[in-house]
């Protein structure tokens, strides 16, 4: 039994160690969370191996020989054994609780010097606002994608417009609910340049699987350039930025060749828009459910673009769609 156990243990340990089970660790907090995860996993695996091993051994070793119809001999329990199988699990569970509590405490510590980003979740889109950064007079920088500076701790202040959502970037590991009416918080210090998915991890309605965006981790210089670019687009009026706006806010659901998007949650705009007037397109954006496109469900496209986007941005978007759909007319 010991030899079989050791052999099986060696094989499983190799599987555990040599296959990359978890996504990249792209934040300072990720290591803490992963350690807690592996601690729990290893304890569970060891307990499972002991229980399953003893059960299988007992079934094999003590099975009744053919024709033996006798009752088993009566046993009165075993106090020593009962103490062991009560005390050991208690010790393990307490160890897991303490370790996880400490790890979570460390992960959620907010360094004095940090950036704040506000997250607004709504069916079925994300919005990220940067309170410290002005786009224009009195207008804060906000974006449909999350852009961060490497090694800069960010405190996220998270809320929701409608139902409960959950903010999650697997590579950062930290996950936090977005709840209407309250502000929840979490901290992430990105440590690896790259682009990662932002995912809603709480079933929130029909469009839940499409509630995705992206998190881009940039160097400080790239971040400043991105901010400048956003300012330039805002200053030029959104018309010039129609494509950027589309890619940020609409591209996760719609196909539009000109913007390089190919999502299929909503109608393929290259095929449905040609021939539509500016008013028709505008109404589809501001009041998506007034007239639901054939073959699609109402309630998936967010209904508040009319409030979210400025008049200028809407004009720019409609104009851009008129020009670009169907390869341009």
Chain residues in the site for Cu ion (CB under 5 A): 165, 200, 204, 211
Applying CB under 6 A, does 271 fall inside the site for ligand HEC?
no
- Helix locations, the chain, DSSP H: 2-18, 28-61, 79-107, 220-235, 242-249, 269-272, 278-286, 305-308, 311-324
Q: Identify the bridge partners of residue 158 per DSSP, sorted by sequence position.
A: 119, 184
- Identify the residue among 249, 258, 259, 322 touching ligand HEC (CB under 6 A): 249
Tally Cβ neighbours within 10 Å of residue 322.
19
Task: Tell me which DSSP letter residue 109 carries.
Answer: -
Name the β-bridge partners of 212. Answer: 199
The span from the CA of 25 to the CA of 33, in Å, is 10
Residues from 306 through 325 that contact ligand HEC (CB under 6 A):
317
Site for ligand HEC in 120-179 (CB under 6 A): 124-125
CB-wise, 26 or 204, nearer to Cu ion?
204
- Report the C-alpha gap between 326 and 311 in whole angstroms: 25
Q: Which does residue 317 bind out of ligand HEC, Cu ion, none, counting CB within 5 to 8 angstroms by kind?
A: ligand HEC
Of 27, 189, 272, 324, the one binding ligand HEC (CB under 6 A) is: 272
In the list Cu ion, ligand HEC, none, the entry touching 272 (Cβ below 5 to 8 angstroms by class) is: ligand HEC
Residues within window 49-88 making contact with ligand HEC, judged by CB under 6 A: none
- Applying CB under 6 A, the span of 52-60, 148-156, 188-196, 250-258 interacting with ligand HEC comes to 250-258
State which residue, 48 or 296, has the beta carbon closest to ligand HEC. Answer: 296
* Cβ nearer to ligand HEC, comparing 189 with 252: 252
Of 41 and 293, the one with the shorter C-beta distance to ligand HEC is 293
Under the criterion CB under 6 A, does residue 259 sit at the interface with ligand HEC? no
Which one of 59-67, 91-99, 173-181, 260-268 is the stretch in contact with ligand HEC (CB under 6 A)? 260-268
Task: Decide: is 284 part of the binding site for ligand HEC (CB under 6 A).
Answer: yes
Nearer to ligand HEC, 224 or 329 (CB): 329
- C-alpha–C-alpha distance, residues 275 and 151, integer Å: 49
Among 281, 316, 322, 324, binds ligand HEC (CB under 6 A): 281
267 lies in the binding site for ligand HEC (CB under 6 A): yes
Between CA 305 and CA 282, with CA 280 as vertex, the angle to 5 degrees is 25
Residue whose token pair is 């009560």: 86
Report, in Å, the least distance between residue 225 CB and ligand HEC.
Answer: 25
Partner interacting with residue 191 (select from ligand HEC, Cu ion, none; CB below 5-8 Å by kind): none
- Complete DSSP assignment for 27-94: BHHHHHHHHHHHHHHHHHHHHHHHHHHHHHHHHHHTPPPTT--PPPPP----HHHHHHHHHHHHHHHH
CA distances from 189 to 3, 45, 118, 154, 162 (A): 45, 31, 15, 6, 28
The CA distance from 189 to 150, in Å, is 7
- Residue 204 contacts which entry, Cu ion, ligand HEC, none (Cβ below 5-8 A, type-dependent): Cu ion
Interaction site with ligand HEC (CB under 6 A): 124-125, 207, 210, 249-250, 252-254, 265-267, 272, 281, 284-285, 288-289, 292-293, 296, 298, 300-302, 305, 317
């Amino acid at each position: 039994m010991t030899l079989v156990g050791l052999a099986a243990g060696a094989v499983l340990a190799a599987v555990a160690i040599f296959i990359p089970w978890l996504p990249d660790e792209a934040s300072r907090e990720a290591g803490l969370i992963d350690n807690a995860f592996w601690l729990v996993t290893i304890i569970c695996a060891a307990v499972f191996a002991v229980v399953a091993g003893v059960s299988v051994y007992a079934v094999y070793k003590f099975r009744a020989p053919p024709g033996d119809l006798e009752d088993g001999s009566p046993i009165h329990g075993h106090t020593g054994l009962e103490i062991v199988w009560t005390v050991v699990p208690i010790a393990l569970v307490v160890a897991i609780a303490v370790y996880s509590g400490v790890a979570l405490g460390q992960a959620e510590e907010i360094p004095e010097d940090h950036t704040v980003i506000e997250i607004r979740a709504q069916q079925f889109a994300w919005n990220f606002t940067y309170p410290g950064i002005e786009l224009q007079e009195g207008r804060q920088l906000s974006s449909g994608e999350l852009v961060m500076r490497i090694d800069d701790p960010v405190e996220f202040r998270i809320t929701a417009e409608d139902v409960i959502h959950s903010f999650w970037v697997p590579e950062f590991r930290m996950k936090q609910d977005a709840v209407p009416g309250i502000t929840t918080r979490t901290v992430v210090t990105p440590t690896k340049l790259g682009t990662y998915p932002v995912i809603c991890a709480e079933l929130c309605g029909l469009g839940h699987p499409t509630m995705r965006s992206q998190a881009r981790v940039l160097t400080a210089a790239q971040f400043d350039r991105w901010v400048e670019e956003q300012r330039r687009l805002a200053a030029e009026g959104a018309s010039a930025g129609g494509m950027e706006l589309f890619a940020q806010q609409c591209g996760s659901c719609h196909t539009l060749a000109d913007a390089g998007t190919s999502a299929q949650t909503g109608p393929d705009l290259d095929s449905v828009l040609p021939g539509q007037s500016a008013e028709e397109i505008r109404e589809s954006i501001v009041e998506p459910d007034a007239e639901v496109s054939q073959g699609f469900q109402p309630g998936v496209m967010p209904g508040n673009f009319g409030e979210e986007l400025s008049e200028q941005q809407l004009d720019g978007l409609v104009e851009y769609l008129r020009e670009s759909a169907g390869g341009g007319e």
